[in-house]
Amino acid sequence: MLQANEIETAETRSGEEILARYRAAGHVTVPDVFPPEMMRTAIADAMAWSDDFLAAMTPEKRAWYVDGAAAPGPASGAAQAAVLRKLDNPHVHRPAFGALAAHPPLVAQVEALIGRGVSVYFSQIFFKPPHGGGPKPVHQDNFYFGPADPDGMVTAWVALEDADLENGCLHYAEGSHLAGVVPHEAPAERPFDLQIPAELAARRAMTPAPVPAGGVSFHHGGTWHQSADNASNRWRRACALHYVRNGNAFETPALPYDHSLVVKITG
Ligand SMILES: O=C(O)CCC(=O)C(=O)O
């Protein structure tokens, strides 16, 4: 069970207020970054890609990409369908997501947080189907990526549809980016699922960050965060775009990231 602090709301704030909150809390939620039609296009494209990916998937890839969660069965009433947990690097592979990554209001906000001249280092679509999609344990993105400059990395978590407490929105530990990166561990059967040890993670209360469709939850690479499973009868699909300030080096990545897929957006 997640401990709940105050809820982070998607308020309309001035640029100074957004920056001040990001620096103090390590995260901030901004509504209305994308118009509804861009979100609808992205969802349709994510589902088409997911169908193709599942059809072509090798058994070795199943543990990484499939959650084992239930999706609503096909109309025939056949057994539960496999649902992807995530898909990697849509900003490279899918033009609809490349357009999200280069959307001027988003890029302006990213540059206001980490400075001018940015690239997308990595990106992920996260699928949480109705009554499924397992939890993502507490972790820090900077442990995964290992940037030389910890402040030169920000994740823009784009809510393709409403994300709330019921369907598995993100939760953050306030100010946790100020204390640096802590060691992570992974279950033996899920070596990619790096996370802060449960007894350490339990020491910090987590703030839920519901995001309306088209809004973005920005988090510093050092901010502890997690998501719960989807307890609702709605989907929760989101795209995490991990931006880096140009020139930031990645010296200690915990997983292999393909640097040929880094896409310069500005400068
Ligand atoms: O969407 C999720 O459930 C996890 C997202 C996440 O960990 C991230 O964007 O860094």
| 12 vs 100, residue with greater confidence | 100
Distance CA 21, CA 250 (A): 26
Under DSSP, is residue 227 helix (H, G, I), strand (E, B) or coil?
strand
Q: Answer whether residue 2 shows pLDDT above 60.
A: no
Q: Answer whether residue 125 shows pLDDT above 60.
A: yes
Q: Answer whether residue 3 shows pLDDT above 80.
A: no
Q: Answer whether residue 77 shows pLDDT above 70.
A: no
| 81 CA to centre of ligand 1 in angstroms | 23
* Interval 132-145 mean pLDDT: 94
User: Which pLDDT does position 201 carry in this prediction?
Assistant: 97
Ligand 1 atom nearest 238 alpha carbon: 1
| The domain defined by 15-72+79-264 carries CATH number 2.60.120.620 | yes
Give the residues across from 156 on adjacent strands: 218, 241
Indicate the pLDDT class of residue 40, thresholds 50, 70 and 90.
Answer: very high
The tokens for 61 are 């890839």
Distance CA 157, CA 126 (A): 10
Indicate the pLDDT class of residue 100, thresholds 50, 70 and 90.
Answer: very high
Q: Answer whether residue 118 shows pLDDT above 70.
A: yes
Distance CA 161, CA 211 (A): 8
Please give the share of the chain, as a percent, with pLDDT higher than 70. Answer: 93
Indicate the pLDDT class of residue 69, thresholds 50, 70 and 90.
Answer: very low
User: C-alpha angle with apex 253: 54 to 222, nearest 5 degrees?
Assistant: 100
Ligand 1 atom nearest 128 alpha carbon: 3
Q: Give me the phi and psi of 40, to 5 degrees please.
A: -65, -45
User: C-alpha angle with apex 131: 188 to 128, nearest 5 degrees?
Assistant: 65
Q: Answer whether residue 96 shows pLDDT above 50.
A: yes
pTM tops 0.75: yes
**126, 181, 218, 220: which to mutate for ligand 1, most atoms within 8 A of CB?**
126
Q: In angstroms, what CA-CA distances link 55 with 51, 58, 71?
A: 6, 9, 16
Residue nearest to atom 8 of ligand 1 (CA): 240
Q: Answer whether residue 11 shows pLDDT above 90.
A: no
Which of 40-49, 65-74, 231-240 is least confident? Answer: 65-74
* Interval 167-178 mean pLDDT: 97
Q: Answer whether residue 78 shows pLDDT above 60.
A: no
Bin 168: left if φ > 0, else alpha if -120 < ψ < 50, else beta.
left
* Interval 44-56 mean pLDDT: 93
Cα–Cα nearest to 81, from 96, 66, 59: 66
| 137 CA to centre of ligand 1 in angstroms | 9
* 164 touches 227 (CB < 8 A): no
Ligand 1 pocket: which residues have CB below 6 Å?
126, 136, 141, 155, 157, 225, 227, 238, 240
* Interval 158-176 mean pLDDT: 97
Average pLDDT, the chain: 91
* Interval 192-200 mean pLDDT: 96
- For 48, other C-beta atoms within 10 Å of its C-beta total 12
Q: Answer whether residue 72 shows pLDDT above 50.
A: no
Q: Residues near 2 by Cβ (< 8 Å), separated by ≥ 6?
A: 171, 206, 208, 226, 228
Which of 32-36, 75-79, 151-155 is least confident? Answer: 75-79
Residue that is written with structure tokens 């001249």 in the block: 117
